[in-house]
């Protein structure tokens, strides 16, 4: 339903964003994304940035870093994560990750592993006591599934 | 003096389905996902740009804070969209609306300029409804 002006522009920009979301692990070329959205390269970059506050390339990098955080939580080695999200150099991935996240992929992964272990062994540390008491969780000693 | 809100709850009919909705469709991030014994789970998510506000996706289960009767009543209220609401914000409502629609989110009101702002309404997978507004518009 075209109830607002230039709906077709929004749909094409959104389509391009979703294309990045689905294909971030591949070697995506900006021209390819612009083609997907049926825009000229420069018009596409301008509209994308106006909509999302980032250029398509910046957005692709953000998606890759966010996906890499999820894989690091799964305890996949840093080099494996690097290639799985579409980067082709571990050193550039590490540098980019540190700049955007504030710590190296290895340090981030260690933090995630520690938190996961703490949630498994002492989950109440991560739950406001009022919620835990209301649910009777503070009376239990073992929260593992049987 | 109260300074911040850091936890809030949304009651959901199914936590697995709610996880998929809030994480994979809305793009929220999982903060804590802790099994709390058979049939119980503490699951919180955060809006992408608000990492210190944990939204607890609370199951409506008999035996915890609910009796069988109150759990049934609560499930009906949530499914009917008559229990609570929330207001989310985005940077570009038209783009967000198109994206969420493409992901299968059910909108009950398309983006509309109202006297109080530019908003759309959508429901989560349980029936809870939310307003989605655009910052500064």
Task: Take residue B122 and report the two structure tokens written for it.
Answer: 């959508």
Task: Give pLDDT, residue A73.
Answer: 96
Give contacts of A146 with chain B, Cβ < 8 Å.
37-38
Residue of A nearest to B33 (CA): A119
Judged by a CB distance cut-off of 8 A, whether residue B8 touches chain A is no
Q: How far is CA B10 from the centre of its chain?
A: 6
As a whole number, mean pLDDT of residues A125-132 equals 84
Measure the CA–CA gap between B73 and B123, rounded to whole angstroms.
Answer: 19
Which of the two residues, A60 and A30, has the higher pLDDT score? Answer: A60
pLDDT for position A94: 97
3-state secondary structure A18-67: HHHHHHCCCCCCHHHHHHHHCCCHHHHHHHHHHHHCCCHHHHHHHHHHHH
CA angle A116, A69, B94 (to 5 degrees): 120
Residue numbers of B between 10 and 29 with CB closer than 8 Å to A: none
A4 contacts B111? CB cut-off 8 A: yes
Looking at the complex, report in whole angstroms how far the Cα of residue B79 sits from the nearest Cα belonging to chain A: 22
- Is the Cβ pair A134, B91 closer than 8 Å? no
- The answer to whether residues A111 and A73 touch, using CB atoms and an 8 Å cutoff, is no
pLDDT in tens, B42-94: 999 999 999 999 999 999 988 778 899 999 999 999 999 988 789 999 999 99
> In this predicted model, what pLDDT tens digit does every residue of B6-29 receive, in sequence order?
999 999 999 999 999 999 999 999
Residue A126 confidence (pLDDT) above 80 = yes
pLDDT at A99 over 90: yes
The pLDDT of residue A2 is 46
pLDDT at position A1: 45
Answer whether A100 touches B (CB < 8 Å): no
* Per-residue pLDDT at B62: 84
Rounded-to-integer distance, Cα A132 and Cα A143, Å? 12
Burial of B28 (0-12, 13-18, 19+ CB in 10 A): buried
Identify the residue with better confidence: A103 or B137.
A103
Would you call B91 and A53 a contact, using CB atoms and an 8 Å cutoff?
A: yes
Structure tokens given for A136: 């009777």
Q: Is the ipTM of this complex over 0.85?
A: no
Q: Does B80 touch chain A (CB under 8 A)?
A: no
Interface of A with B in 112-141 (CB under 8 A): 119-120, 123, 126-128, 131, 134-137, 140
Q: What is the pTM of this model?
A: 0.88
Could A143 and B64 be called an inter-chain contact, meaning their C-beta atoms sit closer than 8 Å?
Answer: no
Average pLDDT over residues A41-45: 87
CA gap A144, A132 in Å, rounded: 15
**pLDDT over 50 at B115, yes or no:** yes
pLDDT at B88: 97
Average pLDDT of span A25-40: 80
H-helix or E-strand spanning residue B59 = strand B54-59
What pLDDT does B101 receive? 96
pLDDT > 80? residue A6: no
């Amino acid at each position: 339903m075209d109830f607002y002006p230039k709906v077709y522009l929004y749909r094409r920009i959104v389509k391009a964003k979703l294309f990045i979301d689905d294909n971030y692990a591949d070697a995506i070329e900006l021209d390819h994304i612009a083609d997907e959205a049926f825009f000229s390269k420069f018009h596409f970059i301008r509209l994308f940035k106006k909509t999302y506050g980032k250029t398509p390339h910046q957005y692709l990098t953000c998606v890759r870093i966010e996906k890499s955080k999820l894989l690091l939580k799964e305890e996949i080695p840093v080099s494996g994560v690097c290639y799985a999200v579409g980067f082709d150099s571990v050193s550039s991935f590490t540098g980019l990750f540190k700049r955007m996240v504030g710590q190296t992929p290895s340090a981030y992964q260690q933090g995630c592993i520690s938190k996961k272990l703490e949630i498994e062994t002492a989950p109440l540390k991560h739950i406001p006591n009022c919620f835990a008491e209301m649910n009777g969780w503070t009376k239990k000693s073992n929260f593992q599934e049987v | 003096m109260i300074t911040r809100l850091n936890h809030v709850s949304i009651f959901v009919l199914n936590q697995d389905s709610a996880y998929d909705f809030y994480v994979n469709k809305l793009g929220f991030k999982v903060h804590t996902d802790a099994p709390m014994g058979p049939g119980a789970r503490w699951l919180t998510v955060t809006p992408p740009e608000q990492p210190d506000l944990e939204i607890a996706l609370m199951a409506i289960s008999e035996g915890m804070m609910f009796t069988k009767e109150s759990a049934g009543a609560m499930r009906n209220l949530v499914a009917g969209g008559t229990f609570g609401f929330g207001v989310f914000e985005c940077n570009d409502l038209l783009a967000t609306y198109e994206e969420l629609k493409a992901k299968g989110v059910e909108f009950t009101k398309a983006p509309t300029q109202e006297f109080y702002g530019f908003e759309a309404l959508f429901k989560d997978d349980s029936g809870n409804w939310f307003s989605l507004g655009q910052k500064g518009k």
